[in-house]
Amino acid sequence: QKEVEQNSGPLSVPEGAIASLNCTYSDRGSQSFFWYRQYSGKSPELIMSIYSNGDKEDGRFTAQLNKASQYVSLLIRDSQPSDSATYLCAVNDAGNNRKLIWGLGTSLAVNP
């Protein structure tokens, strides 16, 4: 059973701090990794995609990938109350590249 695991949280950080969200995956052949943000009652919104080991930065967001450790993370710098949401990690199924395997999400609360 291929799995993506995330700490369910809630992760609580003060406004302006760095929020660190983590995700591990079981499928060693996975090549594509995605972070989505989901506000309560809304659909997931793509934040970042990452395909190579290392860091990828986009504004206040940085995705980090370590394929050897089967670990992907998302850092949010200068966290804002509007960042409060559930963050979903998704990883491609190596046996079927067109399919994504999803984590259950980490709830983030940014406190003013």
Scan residues 24-53 and list those touching another protein (CB under 8 A): 31-32, 34, 36, 41-46, 49, 51
Q: What gap in Å lies between CA 41 and CA 97, rounded to an integer?
A: 28
The yes or no reply on residue 10 touching another protein (CB under 8 A) is: no
Q: Return the range that interacts with another protein (CB under 8 A); candidates 53-61, 65-73, 75-83, 96-104.
A: 96-104
The site string for another protein over 49-88 (x = CB under 8 A, - otherwise) reads: x-x------------------------------------x
Phi, psi at 83, each rounded to 5°: -80, -10
**Closest by Cα among 72, 81, 69, 68 to 108:** 81
**Closest by Cα among 63, 71, 102 to 86:** 102
Peptide bond before residue 10 is cis, with ω within 30 degrees of 0: yes
Binding site for another protein (CB under 8 A): 31-32, 34, 36, 41-46, 49, 51, 88, 90, 92, 96-100, 102-105
